[in-house]
């Protein structure tokens, strides 16, 4: 038996994480754009990589949100 309420809670949590990942990715991209400032040059590449990773994770999370049946063990 599938607990729809539980699945809804999982999807809600995933939505929150997707939103957080998107915000964090935006912040990292903004930090990357500051690389012209010598203070940020060392961190610019790291920020860009983190942003790419967060956006990739957000895509995976969105896939599960759009297809919650993927959470059900077959």
User: Is residue 49, in this structure, part of any structural domain at all?
Assistant: yes
pLDDT of 26 reads 83
pLDDT in tens, 14-40: 888 778 878 888 887 777 677 665 555
pLDDT of 27 reads 80
Q: How many domains does the chain have?
A: 1
pLDDT of 35 reads 64
User: Is residue 74, in this structure, part of any structural domain at all?
Assistant: no
Rounded mean pLDDT of the chain?
Answer: 75
Residues spanned by the domain of 47: 4-69
- Report the share of the chain in percent with pLDDT over 70: 74
CA distances from 73 to 15, 68, 69 (A): 21, 11, 9
**Residue spans of beta strands (DSSP E) within the chain:** none
Q: What's this model's pTM, rounded to 2 decimal places? A: 0.56
User: Is residue 17, in this structure, part of any structural domain at all?
Assistant: yes
């Amino acid at each position: 038996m599938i607990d729809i309420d539980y699945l809804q809670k999982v999807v809600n949590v995933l939505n929150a994480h997707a939103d957080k990942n998107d915000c964090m990715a935006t912040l990292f991209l903004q930090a990357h754009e500051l690389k012209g400032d010598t203070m940020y040059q060392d961190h610019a590449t790291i920020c860009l990589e983190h942003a790419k990773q967060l956006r990739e994770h957000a895509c995976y999370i969105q896939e599960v949100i759009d297809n919650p049946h993927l959470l059900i063990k077959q």
